[in-house]
């Protein structure tokens, strides 16, 4: 390699480092604030690069420094490169939030077919352990309820799902069934909610059965890469979290914080969005300020001294 080539490589490396520093400088106050609150996550190792363009390499390094895990740093780096090519210039200050730069499917695309739609704002969304709780919160005026019934007994699952469907009859509540999609179809539920691992394990024919039955589909996500995977099946809504620490479910990813939630909302705004994970009454205002149309709660209702009264108080956040 000639000295000219070595000099050129050194200059390119310095330029990439300068671009990465610019990204961090602009966005550390949001994603890695000094003092370390729930929005700050520790720096991550820089993953192996899959592209060689300067904006991509700079963003990969910067987003890792800002605490984004490898798969999310990769998504952001690709989007930053796409943004640079689309606009004709590298802009360290503009955090990628254009669906085109992430390769998202346009809202009016014909294929793949979308699942049935649901309201853009699902409002207060109660995640509940059994059909009795489902009926209780539906009668209390909670607009969206989910049955998260844990059992290995197929007959018990079928009974509970049918009981939950019956429990919301005569109320305007929309009922989603967590995981048990076949039982939800058989019982005539409004929709199904699945986690990311469940979605990854589902066959195309399973998803088509849910779609053909007219049920809505909600999908949990925990960062950019999972949002892109969820969006590929064109669900009815996307859940974003966990926003804050939660003890109810062991999470594979760290709490995302409000700053990341706001960035996710800007990107996924074509979908109804549900913020979930450790959200109590005191955080409702800041979560809704991100633009999320719905907040999912568990303990805020089932652990309340007066669940019906608490439901009314929480619903007031949307008025």
Question: Which three-class secondary structure state does DSSP give residue 149?
Answer: coil
Q: Convert 158-193 into a string of H (helix), E (strand) and C (coil).
A: HHHHHHHHHHCCCCCCEEEEECCHHHHHHHCCCEEE
- Return the percent helix, strand and coil in the chain, to nearest 5: 45, 10, 40
Q: For residues 208 and 113, what is the distance between their CA atoms, to the nearest angstrom? A: 9
Predicted confidence at residue 254, as pLDDT, reads 82
189 alpha carbon, distance to own chain's centre: 23
118 within a domain of the structure (yes/no): no
Q: What is the mean pLDDT of the chain?
A: 93
Q: Answer yes or no: do 291 and 162 share one domain.
A: yes
Q: Answer yes or no: do 155 and 236 share one domain.
A: yes
Angle at 214 between CA 161 and CA 129, to 5 degrees: 25
Domain hosting residue 98, numbered range: 3-102
Of 54, 69, 102, the position where a domain reaches its end is 102
Q: Answer yes or no: do 34 and 132 share one domain.
A: no
Query: How buried is residue 117: exposed, middle or buried, by Cβ count under 10 Å (0-12/13-18/19+)?
Result: exposed
Task: Give tens-digit pLDDT for 102-123.
Answer: 999 998 898 899 999 999 999 9
Predicted confidence at residue 97, as pLDDT, reads 98
Q: Count of domains in the chain? A: 2
CA torsion 62-68-70-73 (nearest 10°) is: -50
245 within a domain of the structure (yes/no): yes
Q: For residues 59 and 64, what is the distance between their CA atoms, to the nearest angstrom? A: 8
Name the pairing type of β-strands 144-147 and 216-221. unpaired
Size of the chain, expressed as the number of residues it contains: 319
Supply the pTM of this predicted model. 0.94
292 alpha carbon, distance to own chain's centre: 10
Predicted confidence at residue 13, as pLDDT, reads 73
Predicted confidence at residue 120, as pLDDT, reads 96
Q: For residues 24 and 31, what is the distance between their CA atoms, to the nearest angstrom? A: 9
Q: Convert 193-225 into a string of H (helix), E (strand) and C (coil).
A: EECHHHHHHCCHHHHHHHHHCCCEEEEEECCHH
160 within a domain of the structure (yes/no): yes
Q: For residues 79 and 83, what is the distance between their CA atoms, to the nearest angstrom? A: 6
Max intra-chain CA distance, the chain: 79
25 within a domain of the structure (yes/no): yes
Q: Answer yes or no: do 85 and 130 share one domain.
A: no
Q: How confident is the model at residue 145 (pLDDT cuts 50, 70, 90)?
A: very high
Return phi, psi of residue 233, to 5°: -95, 0
Q: Answer yes or no: do 240 and 203 share one domain.
A: yes
Predicted confidence at residue 1, as pLDDT, reads 55
Name the pairing type of β-strands 273-276 and 237-241. parallel
Q: Answer yes or no: do 129 and 97 share one domain.
A: no
Mean pLDDT of 80-105: 97
What the block records as the tokens of 240 is 């974003």
Using the structure block, give the residue that is written with the tokens 């469907």: 165
74 within a domain of the structure (yes/no): yes
Q: Answer yes or no: do 46 and 155 share one domain.
A: no
Q: For residues 314 and 294, what is the distance between their CA atoms, to the nearest angstrom? A: 11
Of 40, 67, 102, the position where a domain reaches its end is 102
Non-local (6+) Cβ contacts of 124 within 8 A are: 142, 143, 144, 294, 295, 297, 311, 314, 315, 317, 318
Q: Answer yes or no: do 144 and 88 share one domain.
A: no
- CATH number, domain of 143, equals 3.20.20.70
111 within a domain of the structure (yes/no): no
Q: Answer yes or no: do 308 and 235 share one domain.
A: yes
Q: What is the distance in angstroms between the CA of the first residue and the CA of the last residue of the chain?
A: 67
Q: For residues 73 and 68, what is the distance between their CA atoms, to the nearest angstrom? A: 5
Predicted confidence at residue 33, as pLDDT, reads 64
Q: Answer yes or no: do 58 and 134 share one domain.
A: no
Predicted confidence at residue 41, as pLDDT, reads 86
Are 286 and 257 in contact, with CB atoms under 8 Å apart?
no
Q: Answer yes or no: do 152 and 288 share one domain.
A: yes
Mean pLDDT of 182-205: 96
Task: Give tens-digit pLDDT for 10-69.
Answer: 456 778 999 999 999 999 999 876 544 455 789 999 999 999 999 999 999 999 999 999
Predicted confidence at residue 4, as pLDDT, reads 53
Q: Answer yes or no: do 230 and 88 share one domain.
A: no
Of 68, 102, 136, the position where a domain reaches its end is 102
């Amino acid at each position: 390699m000639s000295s000219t080539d070595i000099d050129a490589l050194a200059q390119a490396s310095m330029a990439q480092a300068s671009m990465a520093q610019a990204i961090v400088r602009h966005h550390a106050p949001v994603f890695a604030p000094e003092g370390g609150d729930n929005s700050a996550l520790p720096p991550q190792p820089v993953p192996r690069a899959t592209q060689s363009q300067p904006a991509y390499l700079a963003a990969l390094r910067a987003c890792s420094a800002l605490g984004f895990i490898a798969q999310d740093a990769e998504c952001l780096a690709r989007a930053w490169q796409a943004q640079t090519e689309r606009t004709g210039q590298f802009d360290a200050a503009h955090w990628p939030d254009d669906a085109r730069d992430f390769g998202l499917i346009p809202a009016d695309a014909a294929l793949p077919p979308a699942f049935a739609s649901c309201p853009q704002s699902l409002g207060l969304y109660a995640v509940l352990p059994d059909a009795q709780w489902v009926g209780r919160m539906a009668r209390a005026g909670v607009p969206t309820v989910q049955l998260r019934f844990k059992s290995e007994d197929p007959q018990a699952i079928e009974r509970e799902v049918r009981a939950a469907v019956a429990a919301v009859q005569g109320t305007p509540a929309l009922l989603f069934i967590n995981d048990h999609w076949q039982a939800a179809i058989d019982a005539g539920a409004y929709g199904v909610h699945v986690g990311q691992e469940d979605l990854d394990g589902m066959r195309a024919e399973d998803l088509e059965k849910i779609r053909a039955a007219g049920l809505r589909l909600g999908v949990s996500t925990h960062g950019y890469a999972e949002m892109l995977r969820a969006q590929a099946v064109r669900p009815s809504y996307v859940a974003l979290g966990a926003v804050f620490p939660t003890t109810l479910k062991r999470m594979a990813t760290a709490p995302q914080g409000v700053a990341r939630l706001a960035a996710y909302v800007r990107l996924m705004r074509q979908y109804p969005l549900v913020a979930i994970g450790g959200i109590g009454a005191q955080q409702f205002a800041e979560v809704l300020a991100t633009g999320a149309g719905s907040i999912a709660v568990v303990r805020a209702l089932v652990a309340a001294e007066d669940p019906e009264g608490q439901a009314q108080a929480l619903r007031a956040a949307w008025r």
